[in-house]
Chains A and B, each alone.
Chain A
């Protein structure tokens, strides 16, 4: 092969676009890292990281957001997996409506959602024309507020969670697997927990990590519901400090990368299993 042929075969434009895309992501990241390491004049060091981690508010808000994220993921799985499963199995004609509903959080801003939640759940909900209260105001107690914000997060994460689960179910023949399990004596709970869930675990993990990322960084719901979560904390220190937000942003990015690595690992393992039938 002569030099000219090699030149012609080299995917020049592919590489140009690849490098351009890579720079688009890497330059701001590098700038953030560089900025976070220069808290002290003329010294490159981790002082911004140390200061950020020393702040007890960081740990408290970060822990709370993590707990809310876990609660959101668990509740979303409980709600969305059986729903998506049932729709695929029994009412496939409802898929379009469901997909439309799951896209609503993209159309309705979080601010509308949070005002709606506050409007409805800050006063008791009773049976019309009676004095009987079915539900006490949720915003008056911490637990109630956490339940409310978790529900709000579920709505925000729904497009990602539903789509991940639905895509996962598309890759396995859930109808035949369900029937095989039924013929072996399994009930619905067993089928969902032992047959369906393990076979969509990588899709579930993708949805869960996206949900986690949304919850940990979310500001609007937490601010208006008065929850001391990580999102509002990051927003607050971003307004008052110069270097710590950059350090925390970089750490968050590393955590996301680690999470993607986990997905890759699990997906790689399941990829082989998914082709099994």
Chain B
């Protein structure tokens, strides 16, 4: 039995479903991210785990205990908010010790735990400061320490890095992950930032319009998207319509040119139209020896993006992006030049029938 289970969870507001038939099992110590665009139901799901929303249907269990209808203060779940939510009238130490004092733990034990948490977030010198005297990153670290001080069963993070600048965001997410691993705490992280989700998670739940699109490791989500939404939402992706030529051999036709795919086509027949997807970084210029999956193209545009150079090519009547790593000796083609590009058969993903 998983440590945290969400079984057939639905949440209805007025006539529309914010979350519909959501199922997920999370193991102890796992770090799971809910990823999706605004309004996809990720925060609502998190709030149901926290107890701030009661599901319209379904069941939530933590460590085999049904908490579906428990009040938030009876769940022992730690929560970190985007807006930090530190109590402005309390110092860093008082904020961290708040939950422990609510539990009426002995003052000596509270002080010891507060000290331990302050050391964990490296804010020893700031223990007596008020939240307004700290930077955003420091405030969010205090919020993390405050949530962890109670030794929660599950740690919930609701877009905790969204209000921070880019550099702090990267360093703090690494810090959060390191602390989570060190303490072995089960965590759910809500974000709309794919890079954040890919870099921090054990597993990612991609959500769209209240439903789960795909659950998988960051590697699986990025490399093997199961739906068109996941393919488009996670990373940049080229999508096009192709025709099945031979399903048993995985052969497709793209604008009259033959493409070979490693994907299974058991339920497809010759002549079926399908959506295919190829990541920009999976393309490369074809060498003379390469014969399979070589297609003719015209260079449309070249954009320098720092570490990457993005080349837009026209294959048949479809525009594709191709990413190649920048190096000072890179020989780039000219705009309007006719050339050939290629990709491995594993790079050609089939997202479903048209």
Contact residues of A with B, CB < 8 Å?
A: 172-173, 176-177, 179-187, 190, 194-195, 198-199, 272-277
Contact = CB atoms under 8 A, between A and B. Distances in A.
Contacts of A176: 81, 83, 85
A276 B79 contact: no
B120 to A, nearest CB: 17
A45 to B, nearest CB: 48
A74 to B, nearest CB: 21
Nearest to A275: B132
Interface string B32-67: 000000000000000000111000000000000000
B89 A199 contact: yes
Contact of A273 (B73, B77, B89): B89
A190 B71 CA distance: 15
A265 B143 CA distance: 29
Nearest to B134: A276
Contacts of A277: 83-86, 88, 131, 139
Nearest to A198: B89
Interface in B66-120: 71-73, 75-79, 81, 83-89, 98-99, 102-103
Contacts of A181: 87, 98
Interface residues on B, range: 20 to 34
B147 interface: yes
A180 B147 CA distance: 9
A183 B72 contact: yes
B150 interface: yes
Residue from A181, A182, A195, A198 with most neighbouring chain B CB atoms (10 Å):
A182
B146 interface: yes
B102 A190 contact: yes
Contacts of A182: 51-52, 71-73
Nearest to A187: B73
A84 to B, nearest CB: 18
A181 B71 CA distance: 12
B98 A276 contact: no
Interface of B: 50-52, 71-73, 75-79, 81, 83-89, 98-99, 102-103, 130-132, 139, 143, 146-147, 150, 156
A201 to B, nearest CB: 8
Contact of A184 (B83, B89, B99): B99
Contact of B78 (A183, A195, A276): A183
Contacts of A172: 88
A183 to B, nearest CB: 4
A204 to B, nearest CB: 13
Contact of A276 (B76, B130, B147): B130
Nearest to B81: A176
14 contacts: A179-B85, A180-B81, A180-B85, A184-B102, A184-B147, A184-B150, A185-B76, A185-B102, A186-B73, A186-B99, A199-B88, A273-B88, A277-B83, A277-B85
Q: Which of A176, A179, A183, A190 has the most CB of B within 10 A?
A: A183
Given A182-B71, A183-B79, A185-B73, A177 B99 contact: no
